[in-house]
């Protein structure tokens, strides 16, 4: 039995023990235990399913090889050779899938996210592009049956956003959306451009894993909370009560403002949710800076300052600079069809990790 089969056997034994535990009286009577063991089992279930397929393919290869050695009929030999070739290819594919599953995982991958989009260089055109990106991500979330909720926004009268912050809730959202962090560049002719000249504008996207209260403890004494009246485009008041909230984290001077809700309490809760996510991101960034080798393994995930993608309207082209991928499917992507782009980014990320592990 090869080394990989031995490793997979250990996973299968561990999985079977967890399933036994889940059906035991001590666990079935305790909701917290059910959640704990259920989570552990689900984390290795994919490896176990792949292990069963892999074991079956290895067995088929061994049997076909033995039969080929003994077979005299030429037609049957050709059939067995075809079966061996087919199963050899499948074995290679399964080995790669298993190694990807066994590679170190980002513990945040299964979490929901907070997405921050800000207009960058380009004035009003950048704000409009921020609105385009927000629409793109909400349509993608809907296609995945993820829930999205605006936490905070700074709208401009022309329909764009100086800044918009929203959350996307669902299973494994961060593991998919993390590749969107960075600077997005758009090349198009603005509607206000009478000469038909192409302008280049940018917007920044930050995708932060949502943080539980227990993950980041905030001392209330470290907060300064100010309330004021909400304002809309142009600064006009849109609320007659002091419902808008500005939270300042005194140790770092970090400021979060929320004004979209009519309730001061709701705005405060949203501001604290954003603050926790930003503080956690800052903590993770410091760790990555210390572990530079890990940073090299990533396909540019999480760096707000990195130019990752260009959206060229005249040519209907979208280019991801991290993996040198160009697709002439701009309209499809802007309608929320991100699957092909993200699949390519995930594959490239996996390849880098496997290369680093010497696989």
* Predicted local distance difference test score (pLDDT) of residue 146: 96
Least confident of 230-239, 259-268, 311-320: 230-239
Inform me whether the pLDDT recorded for 282 exceeds 90: no
Name which of 81, 96, 93 is nearest 57 in CA terms.
93
The pLDDT value given to residue 340: 95
Q: In sequence order, which residues have a C-beta less than 8 Å from that of residue 171 and are 6 or more positions away?
A: 110
Nearest alpha carbon to residue 206 among 240, 237, 228, 178: 178
Q: Is 357 inside any structural domain?
A: no
Q: How many domains does the chain have?
A: 2
At 35, is the pLDDT very low, low, confident or very high (cuts 50, 70, 90)?
confident
Whether 97 and 138 map to the same domain: the answer is no
H/E segment holding residue 320: strand 317-320
Tell me what the pLDDT averaged over the chain comes to: 85
Structure tokens at 292: 């530079």
Q: Which of 37, 67, 102 corresponds to the end of one domain?
A: 102
Domain span including residue 34: 3-102
pTM of the predicted protein model:
0.73
In terms of domains, do 41 and 131 share one? no
Q: Do 98 and 182 fall into the same domain?
A: no
CA-angle at 306, arms to 305 and 307, nearest 5°:
115
Domain check: are 98 and 135 in the same one?
no
Of residues 199 and 168, more confidently modeled: 168
Given this model, what pLDDT does residue 352 score?
A: 83
Q: Decide: 130 and 118 in contact? Cβ < 8 Å.
A: yes
Whether residue 19 is contained in a domain is answered as yes
The answer to whether residue 84 scores a pLDDT higher than 70 is yes
Q: How confident is the model at residue 300 (pLDDT cuts 50, 70, 90)?
A: low
| Domain end (from 102, 135, 160) | 102
pLDDT surpasses 60 at 16: yes
Q: Domain containing 186 — which CATH number?
A: 3.30.70.1660
Answer whether residue 359 is part of any domain: no
- The reported pLDDT for the residue numbered 123 is 85
For the chain, give the percent of residues with pLDDT over 90: 33
For the cut 60, the answer to whether the pLDDT of residue 235 exceeds it is no
160 is a domain residue: yes
Structural domain contains residue 176? yes
Environment class of residue 90 by beta-carbon count within 10 Å: exposed (0-12), middle (13-18) or buried (19+)? middle
Q: How far apart are CA 96 and CA 92, in angstroms?
A: 6
Mean pLDDT of 200-208: 93
Does the structure show a pLDDT above 50 at 302?
A: no
Which residue, of 102, 137, 168, is where some domain finishes? 102
Determine which of 74-78, 88-92, 143-147, 286-290 has the lowest per-residue pLDDT on average.
286-290
State mean pLDDT over 280-292: 71
Say whether both 348 and 231 belong to one domain: yes
């Amino acid at each position: 039995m090869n080394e990989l089969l031995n490793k997979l056997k250990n996973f299968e034994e561990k999985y079977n023990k967890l399933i036994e535990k889940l059906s035991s009286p001590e666990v079935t009577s305790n909701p917290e235990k059910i959640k704990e063991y259920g989570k552990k089992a689900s984390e290795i279930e994919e490896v176990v399913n792949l292990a069963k397929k892999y074991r079956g393919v290895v067995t088929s290869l061994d049997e076909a090889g033995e039969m080929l050695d003994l077979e005299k009929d030429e037609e049957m030999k050709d059939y067995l050779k075809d079966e061996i070739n087919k199963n050899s290819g499948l074995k290679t594919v399964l080995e790669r899938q298993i190694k990807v599953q066994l590679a170190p995982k980002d513990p945040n991958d299964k979490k929901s996210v907070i997405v921050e989009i800000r207009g960058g260089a380009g004035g009003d055109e950048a704000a409009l592009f921020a609105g385009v990106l927000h629409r793109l991500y909400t349509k993608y979330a809907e296609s995945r049956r993820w829930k999205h909720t605006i936490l905070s926004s700074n709208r401009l009268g022309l329909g764009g956003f100086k800044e918009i912050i929203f959350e996307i809730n669902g299973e494994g959202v961060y593991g998919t959306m993390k590749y969107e962090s960075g600077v997005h560049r758009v090349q198009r002719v603005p509607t206000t451009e009478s000469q038909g000249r192409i302008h280049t504008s940018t917007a920044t996207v930050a995708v932060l894993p949502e943080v539980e209260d227990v993950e980041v403890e905030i001392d209330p004494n470290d907060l300064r909370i100010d309330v004021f009246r909400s304002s809309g485009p142009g600064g006009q008041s849109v609320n007659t009560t002091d419902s808008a909230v500005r939270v300042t984290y005194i140790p770092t001077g970090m400021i979060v403002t929320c004004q979209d809700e009519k309730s001061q309490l709701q705005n405060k809760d949203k501001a604290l949710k954003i603050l926790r996510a930003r503080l956690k991101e800052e903590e993770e960034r410091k760790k990555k800076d210390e572990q530079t080798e890990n940073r090299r393994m990533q396909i540019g995930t999480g760096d707000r300052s990195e130019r990752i993608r260009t959206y060229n309207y005249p040519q209907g082209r979208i280019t991801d600079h991290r993996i040198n991928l160009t697709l002439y499917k701009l309209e499809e992507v802007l309608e929320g069809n991100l699957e092909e782009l993200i699949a390519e980014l995930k594959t490239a990320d996996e390849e880098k990790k496997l290369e680093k592990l010497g696989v």
